[in-house]
Amino acid sequence: MPRKLKVLELFAGVGGFRVGLEHANKELFETKWANQFEPSRKSQDAFEVYDYHYPESHNICTDINEISDDEFKQMDADIIVGGFPCQDYSVARSVKNEMGIQGKKGVLFWQIIRAIENIKPKYLILENVDRLLKAPTKQRGRDFAVMLSALNHLNYSVEWRVVNAADYGGAQRRRRVYFFVFRNDLPYAKQLDKQYEINDDKTRYDSYIFNEGLFAKQFKIKQEAYKKRHAAYTLSDDIVEVSDNFSGKVFNTGVMRHGEYFTIDTQALGNEQPTALKDILQPEQDVDEKYFVDDATRIEKFAYLRGPKKINRTSQEGYEYTYSEGGMSPYEDINLPGRTMLTSEGTTNRSTHWLKINNRYRFLTPIETERLQSFPDNWTKYKKVDGEIKEVSNRMRMFFMGNALVTDIVKRIGNYIDYIENNYK
């Protein structure tokens, strides 16, 4: 029997992490548990799509806050994966310190921490929007530092990188921060101790960041810091102290080990050709007429939305101001990769991909949005509701893909975890 790494997928959506890991090595990565629940919606369409594709795993459609510690302890997962919401990660000390440190109520990162405490996985792969590294506005980097501190307290190391999928062959200019988190008692971590924990040199992890780490191996970068942006910090052992007083810098690449983090502003090497939008478009004869727009009024609306504008507005406090917005191209350049796709894709708004092909305007199709995220064609077409297979609305399919991640990025991360499992015993 081949070895297996058992996976728990949190905030699973329609299964992006699972798709990516299984494309890396389906024999190695076995997703046994998945949790997907959207508290703001009555229908749970994303869960139903996931359950349609993966009925063999234990799929949980309940608020993660309601999963008990005992339930987590019964999951002997080797890996936890998830794209968690970007929120305020500040922490405070509970009343009289009776309950230790408390994160802000409802912040779902603390549920990941609770899962780690109960499961103690070997690895985590996490994903978030890149603005996390600069949040909040009034104390930039604090939220990320709090996360690093929390993971350090649980005896984990963290490697991170902001990845633009188009820099690595993708069809979308989508920037997201990815985390590779690993337990400090693993052979991989112990080998890093031998290599790098030898002195107080603030640049001792440079070779790891530029050449030897997971992201350096899988997503090549230029061999110098952008604008010489380079920093190293020691985090306080007190998470509340980090939350209250953090004032360091966090760049787009880095590693945290044993409470120290080393961070560098890096640039993609630029040796991988992105996929042009035209290369993921369906043949025009296969595109349903409902995606084409011939109505002159609607076409003019898009011209307005995508054009430059200055609008006089009044704030809630009664302050008058001018809202300015620069212009963008009247329609997509299909020789370039697509722009970042949002959940509003396919609606009449500025962020929607607006195509002009053979002198006709149209939207992307659901299949094309799936291709932008490197999902298989028609991945979101069906869902399972109370044992019955039903079709998903096109609008909801667009919404799913706006929320999803580029599965090819996860595939590359999975490839390197496969390498680690084979080479560090």
Is 361 in contact with 302 (CB distance < 8 Å)? yes
For residue 61, indicate whether it is catalytic.
no
Q: State the pLDDT at residue 100.
A: 46
Query: In this predicted structure, which of 76-80, 103-107, 261-265, 401-405 has the lowest mean pLDDT?
Result: 103-107
Average confidence score pLDDT of the chain = 94
Report the alpha-carbon distance of residue 233 to residue 226 in Å, rounded. 19
Report the alpha-carbon distance of residue 29 to residue 32 in Å, rounded. 9
Q: Which entry of 6, 32, 86, 229 is annotated as an active-site residue?
A: 86
pTM, 2 dp: 0.94
CB count within 10 Å of CB 259 equals 14
Task: Name which of 350, 363, 337 is nearest 308 in CA terms.
Answer: 350
Report the alpha-carbon distance of residue 220 to residue 214 in Å, rounded. 10
317-359: per-residue pLDDT in tens? 888 999 899 999 999 999 999 999 999 999 999 999 999 999 9
Report the alpha-carbon distance of residue 181 to residue 192 in Å, rounded. 14
Could you give the residue range(s) of every CATH 3.40.50.150 domain in the chain?
5-272+406-423
Mean pLDDT of 137-146: 92
Q: State the pLDDT at residue 2.
A: 61
What the block records as the tokens of 45 is 């369409």
In the predicted structure, residue 224 carries a pLDDT above the cut 60? yes
270-300: per-residue pLDDT in tens? 999 999 999 999 999 999 999 999 999 999 9
Instruction: For residue 41, name the pLDDT band (cuts at 50, 70, 90).
Output: confident
* 3-state SS, one letter per residue, for the chain: CCCCEEEEEECCCCCHHHHHHHHHHCCCEEEEEEECCCCCCCCCHHHHHHHHHCCCCEEECCCHHHCCHHHHHCCCCCEEEEECCCCCCCEEECHHHCCCEEECCCCCHHHHHHHHHHHCCCEEEEEEEHHHHHCCHHHCCHHHHHHHHHHHHCCEEEEEEEEEHHHHCCCECCEEEEEEEEECCCHHHHHHHHHHCCCCCCCCCHHHHHHHCHHHHHCCECCCCHHHCEEEEECCCCHHHHHHHCCCCCCCEEEEECCEEEEECCCECCCCCCCCHHHCCCCHHHCCHHHEECCHHHHHHHHHHHCCEEEEEECCCCCEEEEEECCCCCCCCCCCCECCCCCCCCCCCCCCCCEEECCEEECCCHHHHHHHCCCCCCCCCEEEECCEEEECCHHHHHHHHHHCCCHHHHHHHHHHHHHHHHHCC
In the predicted structure, residue 89 carries a pLDDT above the cut 80? no
Q: State the pLDDT at residue 99.
A: 42
321 bridge partner residues: 313
56-71: per-residue pLDDT in tens? 999 999 999 999 999 9
CA 20 distance to own-chain centroid: 12
151-173: per-residue pLDDT in tens? 999 999 999 999 999 999 999 99
What the block records as the tokens of 23 is 């494309």
179-219: per-residue pLDDT in tens? 999 999 999 999 999 998 766 788 999 999 999 999 999 99
Q: State the pLDDT at residue 200.
A: 72
Q: What is the CATH number of domain 5-272+406-423?
A: 3.40.50.150
